[in-house]
Structure 1
Amino acid sequence: MSKAARYRHELKYEISYLEYIPLRQRLRAVMDKDSYADTEGQYKISSLYFDNYNDKALKEKVEGAPKREKFRIRYYNGDTSFMKLEKKMKINGLCMKHSCSITKDECERLLSGDYSWMLDSGRGLIQEFYTKIISQQLRPRTMVMYTREPYIYDAGNVRVTFDMNISTGLYATDFLKGDIEGIPAPTDGRIVLEIKYDDYMPELIRDIVQVGVVRAEAFSKYAASRQYEL
């Protein structure tokens, strides 16, 4: 499970490249770079999202259901030797994420339809995922790939990220190839700014992120990547 099993505030904005540049400069002056980022302060994320044949997770997102969840498998920088299964939950605007490790071999078995190992895995999240696969008929639905530029701030446990170059892929069998060439998602080249924090956002950070930002958006990279199918 994740280290911080608690609900957090999450704000999302779509911004232009011209808004991104000065905002990044202001954040760099007061926030720390994520230790996992490269020399450019970025890393690449590859995710495989699961949904059922009725598109339960997608419909709940589009309709703005106050309580919803979705499962995904994720790895970074094309490195499939370290992968995570994640469950993201949202209740009345607050978010929580649980995660646990999953091996490449386990992922291959899961994608091939072999779930026999999951109940005896000794990992609660994988066991829960198994019950949802059976009861809700969850299956791989789409891949989402993007570049993330993250910043952290200790007070308020604030994390600010810029997600860009968002692309999608429809074939789950390609997920474990590592460096996936996807189709650009329909975002009109805009960048997704995400702000996560615990109980409060420090005034310093609040003042910075309001610059050039008009309003929060109910943006979902998963939903955007499914637009080609709708």
Structure 2
Amino acid sequence: MRYEYKFYVHRNKIPLLRNIILTKLKLDKHVDSSRKHYTVRSIYFDSIDLRHYYEKIGGLKHRKKVRLRGYDYNPDSIVFFEIKRKYEEPGMKNRFSTNYYNALEMFRNRMISKENEDLNKFFFQIMSYNLRPIVNVIYDREPYTEIVKTQNNLRITFDKNLRSVAYPKIDELFVDDNIKPAMLDYFILEVKFDDYLPSWVRNMSESLSLKRESASKYVICIDSQKSIVKQSRFAYLRAEQI
């Protein structure tokens, strides 16, 4: 179980936030210190009538997202089959990792594994609900982690330059053609922890007048891609007539 708080923040507050956070946390060791970020890419799968999208905006307490996630611009890197589940407040995640070329082969064969339940659950969702690639959500993540690791496992990230590509193919996870910006002046501040929200984080958010939001990157990108919403509504109307 993992807790996740999100805030919309104007880009002009980044220097101040960095100064505060660096008194308590450190830049993630996996990040190039000169860039201060890595790029996250996630192809989200949904039904043709956007069932997962409408569950989210409808405030359904038990919901899920199905995605293929990779990082930066390296097709040779490890990618992740993920099902992100939300049961009211805490979240859970089923995750299976492999290299990108193996992942493409698995999609071609709808590969079922006798050894990995998480991979089986992923393809069960894909096949049972006829899910298809809807949008590639892309952003630059600036991550901060605990200086000394604790059971709370606190992590704070600045998720910047949110953008997306509509209706990507599975082999286009690392392709930026026809990319569309989703938020220009704001970024999403994410705070993740296992047990409790530290008082200094609460004080920081209150001093900067930050308000907790749902801030779903998937929803934001779908809303910015008007063709996706329009097509899903058409599909819903057709289904109602059948």
TM-score where L is the length of structure 1: 0.88
Paired with 2:109 and 2:59, the residues of 1 have a C-alpha distance of: 31
Q: Is the 8 A contact 2:65 2:83 kept in 1?
A: yes
% identity of equivalent residues: 27
CA distance in 2, matches of 1:174, 1:108: 7
Counterpart secondary structure, 1:133: helix
TM-superposed deviation, 1:175: 5.0
When residues 16 and 196 of structure 1 are mapped into structure 2, their CA distance, relative to the original with a 3 A threshold, is same
CA distance in 1, matches of 2:171, 2:143: 23
Counterpart for residue 233 of structure 2: none
Counting only pairs closer than 5 Å after superposition, residues 192-211 of structure 1 correspond to structure 2 as: 192-211=188-207
Q: Which consecutive residues of structure 1, in runs of 5 or more, have no partner in the other structure? A: 1-6
In structure 2, the CA distance between the partners of 1:22 and 1:175, relative to structure 1 (3 Å rule), is farther
2:23 aligned counterpart, secondary structure? helix
Bigger Cα Rg: 2
Match of residue 150 from structure 1: 143
TM-score, normalised by the number of residues in structure 2: 0.84
2:53 alignment partner in structure 1: 58
Which residue is equivalent to 1:38? Answer: 32
> Structure 2 CA distance, aligned partners of 1:220 and 1:89?
13
**One-letter code of the match for 2:18?**
R
The reply on whether 1:138 has 2:131 as its aligned counterpart is: yes
- Give the drift of 1:189: 2.2
Contact 1:174 1:180 in 2 (8 A): no
Contact 2:161–2:184 under 8 Å retained in 1: no
For structure 2, the residue ranges without an aligned partner over 5 or more in a row are 230-242
**Greater mean deviation of Cα atoms: 176-185 or 39-48:** 176-185
Q: Which runs of at least 4 in structure 1 moved beyond 4 Å after TM superposition?
A: none
Instruction: Kindly provide the amino acid, as one letter, of the partner of residue 190 in structure 1.
Output: Y
Whether the aligned pair in 2 keeps the contact of 1:160 and 1:195 (CA below 8 Å) is yes
Q: Tell me what 1:98 maps to.
A: 94
**Residue 85 (1) aligns with residue 81 (2):** yes
* Match runs of 1:154-169 below 5 Å: 154-155=149-150, 156-169=152-165
User: How far did residue 122 of structure 1 move?
Assistant: 2.8
Q: Distance in 2 between matches of 1:9 and 1:210?
A: 19
In structure 2, what residue type is equivalent to 1:77?
Answer: D
Residue-by-residue CA offset, 1:146-188 (whole Å, 9 max, x unaligned): 1000111234211100001111001322753635252101x24
SS at structure 2 position matched to 1:206:
helix
Distance in 1 (CA, whole Å) between partners of 2:141 and 2:129 is 31
Query: Deviation digits for residues 202-222 of structure 1, max 9, x if unmatched?
Result: 223332343313311111111
The letter for the 1-side match of 2:141 is R
How many correspondences in the alignment? 220
CA distance in structure 1 between the aligned counterparts of 2:207 and 2:69, rounded to whole angstroms: 32
Deviation at 1:73, TM superposition (A): 0.9
Please report how far the alpha carbon of residue 29 of structure 1 lies from its aligned counterpart in structure 2 after TM superposition: 2.0
**C-alpha displacement of 1:92:** 0.9
Answer yes or no: is the 8 Å Cα contact 2:40–2:72 preserved in 1.
yes
SS in structure 2 of the partner of residue 54 of structure 1: coil
Are 1:107 and 2:103 matched, yes or no?
A: yes
CA contact (8 A) 1:119 1:127 kept: yes
The amino acid across from 1:93 in the alignment is E
* Residue of structure 1 aligned with 2:210, choices 193, 202, 214: 214
* Contact kept? 1:10, 1:195, Cα under 8 Å: yes
